[in-house]
Amino acid sequence: MEYNQLEQYLNLTIEASIKAGAAIMEVYGSAFKVQYKVDESPLTEADQRANAVIMQFLETTQVPIISEENKAIPYDVRKTWTQCWMVDPLDGTKEFVKRNGEFTVNIALIDEGVPVLGVIYVPVTQVLYFAISSQQKAFKIKLENTDLSVQDIRSQAIQLKSGADISKVRVVGSRSHMNTDTSNFLKRLQEVTSVSLEMVSVGSSLKFCLLAEGAADIYPRFAPTMEWDTAAGQAICSALDISVVQESSGVTLRYNKADLLNPYFIAAHERYLP
């Protein structure tokens, strides 16, 4: 994909994520109601408002969109797409309902099944992460002013440098999804490492962000996730040589599959992968 096109798309998604975050915060500060989908996952007005904002931006690109809050598109249609947007307008709705601040806006561009651009925005803290994977650089900025131009945001963002703490292995996980498979993996990891394990618990795609900024070393996920939960995080991690691979095969996660459910996966630097 052409460099200039990716740059334009990145600018667009940065603006879209910040505007969506503002829409989320309007609901966050109110007495919102919670509905439940067929799979019993929560849905709020914030999910729907953020999705509407993001759609307004992305529809201008003429690239098809897969979003958690849009009507499912049959694979017979999707399989012809070479590119698509992958969107979770409010990742961590459970965290939103708990009002703990650990929720994000996730937007990624998929090219031939690979996340090539990712933006993650944290509305409560106004922290933004972004990357174009092929540039091998990822960035973070805390916005003191959400009215900053995209050009100013990009010029003021700091480049992330992920790294390991050799005295321990920091394992990041979900507050909501610790299970037997994860516990067994941690026991095996402890057996093959000569250092202690430290658990870091956080919600939503913030787990990928901790890897990207060097605050965690490995993220094993042995519970259900959808493609829109992981695409943006994978794009950002890929820019820093952090792999996101299937737990069973070691193959990198792919996108716009017939089934949008992800397999179990591990996200980590190569040295921590099985």
Structural domains of the chain, with CATH: 3-159 (3.30.540.10), 168-272 (3.40.190.80)
Q: Tokens for 169?
A: 């292995």
At 164-205, the pLDDT tens digits run 667 788 999 875 556 788 888 888 888 777 778 888 989 999
The continuous run of DSSP H or E covering 109 comes out as strand 104-111
The residues facing 16 across adjacent strands are none
Q: What single letter denotes the amino acid at residue 24?
A: I
Percent of the chain residues topping a pLDDT of 70: 97
Kindly state the average pLDDT of the residues 214-220. 93
Per-chain mean pLDDT for the chain: 92
Nearest Cα neighbor of 16 from 157, 90, 119, 104 is: 119
The mean pLDDT of 89-116, rounded to a whole number, is: 96
Q: What is the pTM of this model?
A: 0.94
The residues, ordered by sequence, that sit 6+ positions from 134 with a Cβ below 8 Å of its Cβ are: 6, 116, 239
- Using DSSP bridges, classify how beta strands 83-91 and 218-221 pair: parallel, antiparallel or unpaired: unpaired
Residue with tokens 């202690």: 196
Band (pLDDT 50/70/90 cuts) for residue 51 is very high
Report the C-alpha gap between 63 and 13 in whole angstroms: 13
Helix (H, G, I), strand (E, B) or coil at 34: strand
pLDDT at 261: 97
